[in-house]
Amino acid sequence: MKSQLPKVLHPLAGQPLLNHVINTARSLNPERIIVVYGHGGEQVPDAITGDDLVWVKQTEQLGTGHAVAQAMPEVDAAATVLVLYGDVPLTRQETLMELVGYSADDFGLLTVHLDDPGGYGRIVRNKKAQVTHIVEHKDATVEEHRITEVNTGILATNAGRLRGWLEKLNNDNAQSEYYLTDVIAMAVADGVKIKTCHPDSEMEVLGVNSRAQLAMLERQYQRQQAEALMAQGVTVIDPARLDIRGEVNIASDVILDVNVVLVGRVSIAEGAYIGPGCVIKDSRIAEGVQMQPMCVIEQARIGADARIGPFARLRPGADLSANTHVGNFVEIKNSKVGEASKINHLSYIGDSDVGARVNIGAGVITCNYDGAYKHRTTIGNDVFVGSDCQLVAPVEVGDGATLGAGTTLTRNAPAGDLTLSRSKQKTVQGWKRPVKKSS
C-alpha cells in the first residue's frame, strides 16, 4: 500500500477494511471475535472498537498458521473456528453460513475457480474429486500450476482438532513460514472429510494488496449497493457514479442523480429527488423533497415537499418543516424553519427558530456569536425580512413583522409593524471619482 497506515485500516465505502470483516462476522452471532494483529500494528486496536473483540498480538510474522495459533488459547476446544482475513472485505454472510454448516462433523473450506490462479495456493484433489491437500504457488509443480481451483484461506472446523494440527506445523517450505494450508492434509490423514463451497463471485474473496485493488473493490461494492437499491424501486441515474458510505434506507420512486454521496445513516422517503453532486450525511429526507445540485446536508432533517438548493448547506441541527424553500448559497445551522418558509438567496441562519410562512431576503445574517457564546434568534410567523438585514442575537421578531432592507436589528421587533434602521441618504454634489494619473 506504500502507506504509514496499516493495510486493514484503509477505507472501503468510508470504513476500514477490517470493519467490513468484523461486521460480517458479527452477523453470524459468534461467541467471540478474535483479531490477530501484527507487530507495529498498534494503530489497529486503537482504531477499531467493540466490546466483543479480543485482540491478540502476533509479535513475529511467521505465516498464517502461526497467526491462527496465537488465537487458539482464547478458543474453547468444543467451539467451531471460522478463519477470516482482515483485508478480504466483501465476503457475504450467506457464503459463510454455508461454510460453517459444513464444519459440524467435517472441515469446511472456501475455494474459488480463477481464470488466472497465479500466486494462489492450489486445491489438489484425487481421482474421486476429494480434496487431499493444498500446495502453495511457490511450492507447486508445473502440473499443479495448471489447477484453477484455488484456496481462499477462509475455513471452518472444530477448534480442538485445529489446535492439534497447528501444533504439528513446520516451516519446511519455500517461504520458511508455518502455512495454515498444511492442516488440510493433516485433516485428510485423520479421516476428516474436506467439504468445499464456493462464493457467488470471486469478488467475495479478493484481498487488498495495493491501492489499485482497493479502488477496484470499492467500485464493486458500490455497484452492488446501487443494484440492490434499483431492485427496491430506486432510480439510480448512473450506478457507476453513486457512493454509499454507511447504512441507507431509501424508499421506492426516489431518484438519485449522478455523483451523489451518502454517508452514515441516511433515510430518504418516497418520491424524493437528489440532484447531481449532493453529499448527505446522517440525515432524514422526507417524501417529495426536491434537492437541486451540489447541496451538502449533515445531521439535518428536511420535511415533505421541501425544495433545497442548488448549492445549499444544511449543518448539524438544521430542521426544516414541510414545503420550505432553501436556495442557492444559503447556510442553516442548529435552527428550526417553519412550514412554507423561504430562505432563497445568500443567507446564513444559525441558532434560530423561524416560524411558518416567513420570507427571508438575500444576504440576511443572524449574528449568533458574540465571540464567546452563541445566542438564539426567534422569528415569528408571517414575517418578512428584507435583503441585507443583520439580526443581532438574542433578538425576537414578532408575528407579521416586516424588517426593512439593510436593517441591523439589535432590539426586538414588534408584531405587525415595520422596523428599519438606516442612515439618512445624502448626495454630495460635485464629487469627483479618483482617476489614475497618466504616465
Note the CATH number of domain 7-205.
3.90.550.10
Cis ω for the linkage preceding 310 (within 30 of 0):
yes
Quote the pLDDT of residue 212: 97
Residue 322, pLDDT > 90, answer yes
Find the mean pLDDT for residues 58-72: 94
Q: Can you list the alpha helix ranges (DSSP code H) found in 4-119?
A: 17-26, 43-47, 64-71, 93-101
Q: In which residue are the cell numbers 454507511 written?
A: 246
Q: In which residue are the cell numbers 436589528 written?
A: 409
Catalytic: which of 10, 137, 198, 345? 345
Q: What's 429's DSSP letter?
A: T
Note the CATH number of domain 211-419.
2.160.10.10
Contact 287, 304 (CB under 8 A): yes
Quote the pLDDT of residue 24: 97
Average pLDDT, the chain: 95
Residue 436, pLDDT > 90, answer no
Find the mean pLDDT for residues 109-131: 94
* Phi, psi for residue 438 in degrees, rounded to 5: -70, 140
pLDDT band at 255 (very low <50, low <70, confident <90, very high): very high
Long-range contacts of 367-373 (CB under 8 A, 24+ apart): 367/391, 367/392, 367/393, 368/393
Find the mean pLDDT for residues 149-154: 96
Amino acid letter, residue 27: S
* Closest alpha carbon to 20 in 110, 75, 94, 86: 86
* Closest alpha carbon to 402 in 392, 416, 412, 389: 416
Report pLDDT digits (tens) over 283-295: 999 999 999 999 9
Residue 157, pLDDT > 80, answer yes
Quote the pLDDT of residue 135: 92
Contact 355, 379 (CB under 8 A): yes
* Closest alpha carbon to 27 in 5, 52, 44: 52
Distance CA 266, CA 241 (A): 18
Quote the pLDDT of residue 197: 95
Quote the pLDDT of residue 83: 98
Helical (H) or strand (E) element with 3: none
Quote the pLDDT of residue 276: 98
Find the mean pLDDT for residues 12-31: 97
Report pLDDT digits (tens) over 404-417: 999 999 999 999 99
Quick check: do 7-205 and 211-419 share a fold?
no
Burial class (CB in 10 A: 0-12, 13-18, 19+), 320: buried
Residue 105, pLDDT > 90, answer no
Radius of gyration of the chain (CA): 31
Find the mean pLDDT for residues 22-44: 93
Domain parsing of the chain, residue ranges: 7-205, 211-419
User: pTM for this one?
Assistant: 0.91
Helical (H) or strand (E) element with 309: none
Distance CA 122, CA 135 (A): 5
184 CB-near residues (< 8 Å, 6+ apart): 107, 109, 131, 133, 134, 194
Q: First and final CA of the chain: distance in angstroms?
A: 61
Cis ω for the linkage preceding 16 (within 30 of 0):
no
Active site residue 198: no
Ranges 36-40, 188-192, 320-324: which has the least confidence = 36-40
Residue 318, pLDDT > 80, answer yes
Report pLDDT digits (tens) over 340-365: 999 999 999 999 999 999 999 999 99
Residue 381's alpha-carbon distances to 321, 338, 351, 363, 401, in angstroms, are 13, 8, 17, 20, 9
Ranges 173-182, 254-263, 355-364, 387-396: which has the least confidence = 173-182
Quote the pLDDT of residue 39: 75
What is the share, in percent, of the chain residues with pLDDT greater than 90?
92
- Mapping DSSP to helix (H, G, I), strand (E, B) and coil, where does residue 315 land? coil
Residue 173, pLDDT > 90, answer no
Quote the pLDDT of residue 119: 87
* Closest alpha carbon to 240 in 215, 257, 213, 219: 219
Report pLDDT digits (tens) over 372-386: 999 999 999 999 999
